Structure 1
Amino acid sequence: MIKTYQDALNFIHGRTKFKKIPTLKRMQRFLAELGNPQQGQHYIHVTGTNGKGSTVAMLRSMLLASGLTVGSFTSPFITRFNERIEYNGQQISDDDLIRLTQRLEPVVAKLDAELPSGGPTEFEIDTALLFCYMAEKKPDVVLLEVGIGGLYDSTNVIIPDVSVITTVGWDHMKYLGNTLAAIAGQKAGIIKNKVPVVIGRLPTSARQVITQTAADKQAPLYAFGTDFRSQKVNGHGLYAKVQYDGLEIHHGEFQLGLAGDYQVANAAIALTAAQLFLRIHQLPLDQAAFRQGLATSQWPGRMEVVNDDPLVLLDGAHNLPGIQALVKTIKGDLFDRDVYLLVAILADKQYKLMLGELASLGNVHLTVTNFAGPGPRRPSANLGTVARQLNSRYPIQVVKNWQVGFQQVAHQLNSDDVMIVTGSLYFISDVRHLFEN
C-alpha cells in the first residue's frame, strides 16, 4: 500500500529499468487502462544526446513569459524526484505524487499479472504520472523530454505540435546502436507525419538519416545553420549574448541565463521551436518576453554557479559530446584562468576518451574520484588506472572519496581560479547537496 511520499518513491524506483524487447505496446496498454490521459494536450517533444534539458528549460521560460501555461517533463532529477514533473515552473507536490501513484498502483499490478513480460518499467510509470497530472492541469503546452532515444521511448505515444532533435552523439550505444546513423534513426522516431521538426548542428551521417525521415513523413524541417542561425556576440563571456536569425526574428539579440558556449545552439533551437508553436496556434510573438525568458532560464547541474568567489560550477557533462562541449567552454571563456576539475564518471560511459579530452587542456588541474552511482549495476569508473596512462600538464590527483577530493581541491583555489565538478549528472546531484542551505 502506498500511503507516504517515501512509499510512492519506493514503488516507482522499485520497478525494473529496462525490458529485453523494446516496444511501445506495453505503454499504450498502460495508458488505455488509465483512460488515455495523454490525449487532448499540445506537446513540444524534445530528444537529443545532449541539450534536451537546457532546451526545455529555455522553452519553459520563454513560453511562460509569453503568458502561456506550461507543463514539463524532464530527466534525470538532480535533487528530488518531483523536479521531473512541473506545471508553470512549480514541481508536482508530494501530495499529488502520492495520490497519482496510488491511482497507478492497481493498474500496474493488473498488467504485471496479465502481460507475459510483466507490467510497466520505472520510466513508463514516470511518464504515465506526467500524463495523468497534465490531464488534470490542462496547460497550453507540455514540454516533453525523451528519456533515451526516441522511437521506443515511453514518451513517444503522442502527436506533438513540434518535434525537436538537439544533438546526436555517442551515448547509450547498448540500447541505441553503434553508429551515429543508428542512434539518429532512434531519435528520428519522434518525427511524425507533417509535424514540423527543429534540428540542431548534427554530424553528417546523423543529419542524412533525420533529413530522410522528415522527407518521408512530409515533416517540415528547420535546420540549424540553414533555416535559423545564432552566434555569440560577447566574446569570452561565460554567459553568452547571442544574435539569432530565424523565422520572424531578424538580428535579435538575447542574453542567456544559462552559462556555457554550448547554450548558443540550444537557445537557437528553443527560439525556433517556440516561434513555430506560437505560429501554429496563431499566437502573437513577443520578443521582449523571449528576451526575459532566456535571460532568466535556470537549469540545475548545467554550468550551474553554486559559488561566486572563487567561482564553483557544477556541470553534468555525462558523455563524450558533453565533455567536448565543456572543453570548448573552458577554451573559449576560461582560457586565462586556472581551472580545477573534480571528475567522476560512470563505468558504462566512454570514460577513457572523456578524461583524455579534459587532460589535454593546458590550464586544467585534474582530480579524479569515485561516487556511489545510481545503483549497484551502475558503479563509477576506476579513473585512477586511466589517469596513470594520460599525459597532462599538471599531475592528475587520484582521491577515492569524493568528499575528501572536494575539500582538497577547494583548499587550493585562489579567488581568480575556477572549480568545475563534472562527469555525471548523478555525481553532480551528490555534490549539489553540499551547497543547499
Structure 2
Amino acid sequence: MIPRLDDYKKKWDVASDQSIKPGLDAMREALDLLNNPEQKIAFVHIAGTNGKGSTLTFLEHISRSHGLNVGKFMSPCIYDVHDQIQINGDPISENEMDDIFVQLKNAGLSGKLTDFELLTCVAFLHFSQQEVDFVLLETGMGGREDSTNVITPIVSIITSIALEHTKFLGPTIESIASHKAGIIKQSIPVVVGRLPKEAISVIESEAFKKHAPLIELGDHFEVSIEGSFDVYKNDEKGLEIQRLLRALPGNHQADNMALAITAFFEVAEYFKLAVDLDKIRKGILESVLPGRFEEVLPNVYFDGAHNPQSAEKLVQTIKAKFPNEKVRFVVGMLADKDVGAVLRLLEKVSYEFYFVDFINDRAMTSTEILSLSRASQAASLEDPITFLKNASTNGGKTFVTGSLYLLTEIRKEIIKNKI
C-alpha cells in the first residue's frame, strides 16, 4: 500500500492492482499509450539490497552542487506518495499529480497496471514534462523484471547483494544477483559495490555479455577513512579526493559515497561538465537521508534496518557513536524478512526491546516478533508515540527500526501530534 495513492485513483477513477507482478510487458504497453515519456529522459539506474537510498542521495547532491536539475524516484515513501517523486528535493505537488492522473485516465491505463507500475508511469510523465537534466531511478524490487527496467541509463549502479524477496527473486545469492544484473545495458558502464563472490561472478558475466564496462569498488576505485574524513582514490582517473566530510554516519556510508562519486564521473562526461572537487565535497556534506540514523526527537533515532546486512551496519554505527550509552529498540517488521537474524544482531547492543504493530498486509504482529526475542526486557507496545515522547527525556538512546513502512507510520503520528 502506497500512502495517498488511493486518493488519486478514486478521484480520477483509475484502477490498479496492489499485488506484485514481476515482468515488463504491462509497463511497455502502458508507456506506448503515453507516447513513451521515458525515452525523453536521461537516467541513472540504481539497484541493490542495501545502500540504494544513500547512494542516490550522495549522487543527487553532488550533481545539484554542479548545477544540474535532478529528478529522483525512490521507494518506499518517507511520508506519502508525493515524496517518492522529487525534483531538486521538492516533491511532486497535488496539482501536478492531478494533471498526470487525468493523462493516465485519458490514455486508458485504468486496470492495466499494479500500483508500483502506475506510480512509475506517473514519475516518467512528471520528469519528462518538467524537463529535468536527468533522473535517479531506484528499482522497487530486484531489477530485471522491475517496472523501472524499461530505460537505458547513462550509468547503472549495483550497491550490494544479499538474500531478499526470495519468493520473487529466488533462494540464492546467484539468483538474486541475476535479477540485479538485469539493469546492466548494452555498452553502458556499471558501478558496483563490495559484492559476495557468488554475486560478482554473475555481474561480471552479464557485463561481459553486454560489453558493459564494469567499475568495481576495491578494484577500480577505493575509499578509506582517516579520522573524521574520507579519502576517495581512483587510480584509473589518476584522482584522489581528500578531506571528504559526511553527514551520514557509519563506515558503510563511505562505500555508498564512493559509488556515487564514481557514477558522477559518468554523469559529468555525459553532460560535458568540468568536475569540481570542492563541489563534490559540498554535495557529500549536504547529503542527509530520512530513516538513516536520523534523529527525529532528542535521543530518538529512525533507522530502517530491515534485513541482517543493514542491521549489522546499524549495530556497528551505534557501537562507534554511542559506545557507553544505554540503547533501547522499538521494532516492527515485515513477516517475509529474516526477523530472527535481525533481532540477534540488535541484541548485541541492547537488552531492552519493544515490538509494535503497524498497518501493512505483510507485517508481522508485535506478539509474533516478541515470541522470537531473546532480550531480557521485551514487551509489546500499544502506544509508541507516548513511549517515544517519554524516551526522549528518559536517558539513553532509542532506535525505531525494522520496516521502512513502520518509520513512515510513526513519522506521520509524530507530525500529527506535533511532538
Question: Same fold by TM (over 0.5)?
Answer: yes
User: Does structure 2 conserve the Cα–Cα contact (< 8 Å) formed by 1:70 and 1:140?
Assistant: yes
Equivalence for 1:17: 18
Structure 2: gaps spanning 5 or more residues: none
Q: Are 2:310 and 1:322 equivalent residues in the alignment? A: yes
Call closer, same or farther: CA 1:372–1:409 in 2, change over 3 Å.
same
Question: Which SS does the other structure have where 1:190 is aligned?
Answer: coil
What residue is the counterpart of 2:168 in the other structure? Answer: 175
CA–CA distance in structure 2, aligned partners of residues 37 and 300 of structure 1: 29
Instruction: Give 1:115's aligned residue.
Output: none
- Measure the CA separation in 1 of the matches of 2:321 and 2:13: 41
CA distance in 1, matches of 2:410, 2:132: 34
Give the counterpart letter for 1:322 in structure 2. S
Please give the residue correspondences for 1:245-324 in structure 2 after superposition, counting only pairs within 5 Å.
245-246=233-234, 247=237, 249-308=239-298, 311-324=299-312
User: Aligned partners of 1:411, 1:348: CA distance in 2, in Å?
Assistant: 31
Contact 2:249–2:317 (Cα < 8 Å) also in 1: no
Aligned length, in residue pairs: 409
Q: Please point out which of 132, 152, 165 is paired with 2:158.
A: 165
Distance 1:142 1:304, change over 3 A: same
Q: Distance in 2 between matches of 1:285 and 1:52?
A: 23
Relative to 1, partners in 2 of residues 1:77 and 1:135: Cα closer, same or farther, differing over 3 Å? Answer: same
Task: State the alpha-carbon separation in 1 of the partners of residues 5 and 51 from structure 2.
Answer: 30
Give the letter aligned to residue 229 of structure 1.
E
1:426 aligns with one of 405, 410, 415: 405
Structure 1's unaligned 5+ residue stretches are 113-118, 235-239
Q: CA RMSD in A?
A: 2.2
Whole-angstrom CA distance in 2 between matches of 1:63 and 1:314: 26
- 1:179-206 deviation digits (Å, cap 9, x = unpaired): 0110010000000011000001111101
Q: What amino acid is aligned across from residue 430 of structure 1 in structure 2?
A: E
State the Cα distance separating 1:435 from its structure 2 match: 4.1
Contact 1:371 1:402 in 2 (8 A): no
1:242 correspondence with 2:223: no
Conserved? CA contact 2:302–2:400, under 8 Å: yes
Match of 1:151 in 2: 144
Aligned partner letter, 2:378 = Q
Q: Tell me: CA distance 1:397–1:411, structure 2 relative to 1, closer, same or farther (3 Å).
A: farther
Q: Is the 8 A contact 2:300 2:388 kept in 1?
A: no
Alignment CA distance shift 1:120-1:404 (3 Å):
closer
Question: How far does the alpha carbon of each residue in 1:148-206 deviate from its partner, in whole angstroms, 9 at most, with x for none?
Answer: 00001111001101000001012111111100110010000000011000001111101
Give the 3-state SS of the residue equivalent to 1:245 in structure 2.
strand
**Alpha-carbon distance between aligned partners in 1 of 2:287 and 2:389, rounded to the nearest angstrom:** 32
TM-score normalised over the length of structure 2:
0.92
3-state SS, counterpart of residue 79 of structure 2 = coil
Q: Which of 177, 187, 196 is 1:194 aligned to?
A: 187
Q: Is the 8 A contact 1:38 1:131 kept in 2?
A: yes
CA distance in 2, matches of 1:147, 1:407: 30
In structure 2, the CA distance between the partners of 1:369 and 1:261, relative to structure 1 (3 Å rule), is same
Secondary structure at 1:401's aligned position in 2?
coil
Q: Name the TM-score, length of structure 1 as normaliser.
A: 0.88
- The match for 1:116 is none
Percent identity of paired positions between Structure 1 and Structure 2: 33
Q: Does structure 1 retain, via aligned residues, the 8 Å contact 2:385–2:413?
A: no
